Amino acid sequence: MRSQRAGKHSLLCGDPVPPGEVVAAPSADQLDGVAVCLLDVSPAAQRDRLIRRGDDPALLPRHVAFAGWMRAHVADPAHRPDVIIGDGWDAMRWERWLPSGERATPWTGHVIDTSAPSAAPTLRREASCGIASAARKTTTARTIAIAAADSGAT
């Protein structure tokens, strides 16, 4: 909130931070807005990177499924909210982003595909552009959440 009062943006990075959790946080109603930049990766590239990193191959389907959910969640908050609400903290205000028919998506979003091997050298530049693009889509955005699609995006 201090950054927002000073007219600055805040940047949240996580492993990953679903935008629904950011919007549902108890103090999120004090934010001017939320813009999201998702660092995404194709399922094949994600599997390859996680295997090279040494992750347990038995867990790959879960990683890929969560990344798919995150991709859909950024675009459509109504997509399977149970994924993060089920065992959520009691103080979370899930109603802030759950669909109500008239309510618009409570965040703006930008997706950067990091699947190609050539993506790494340009990712920093693209991420900067993606953050700026996401922020421009909402004139009052003061918080920008970046989420890597389940540990395999970069």
- pLDDT tens digits, one per residue of 32-41: 888 888 888 9
Whole-number Å distance between alpha carbons of 101 and 99? 6
31 SS3 class: coil
Mean pLDDT computed over every residue of the chain: 78
Q: With beta carbons less than 8 A apart as the criterion, state whether 4 and 127 touch.
A: no
Kindly tell me if the per-residue pLDDT of 28 is higher than 80: yes
Kindly tell me if the per-residue pLDDT of 140 is higher than 50: no
Candidates 108, 111, 114, 105; CA nearest to 144 is: 108
Query: Any alpha helices (H) in the chain, and if so which ranges?
Result: 2-5, 19-24, 43-53, 60-75, 82-85, 119-136
Q: Please count the helices (runs of H) and the strands (runs of E) in the chain.
A: 6, 4
Question: Tokens at residue 91, please?
Answer: 């103080």
Q: pLDDT, tens digit, for every residue of 67-89?
A: 999 999 998 888 898 998 888 78
CB-count burial class (<10 Å; 0-12, 13-18, 19+) for 152: buried
pTM, two decimals, is 0.76
Question: What's the rounded mean pLDDT across residues 97-125?
Answer: 72
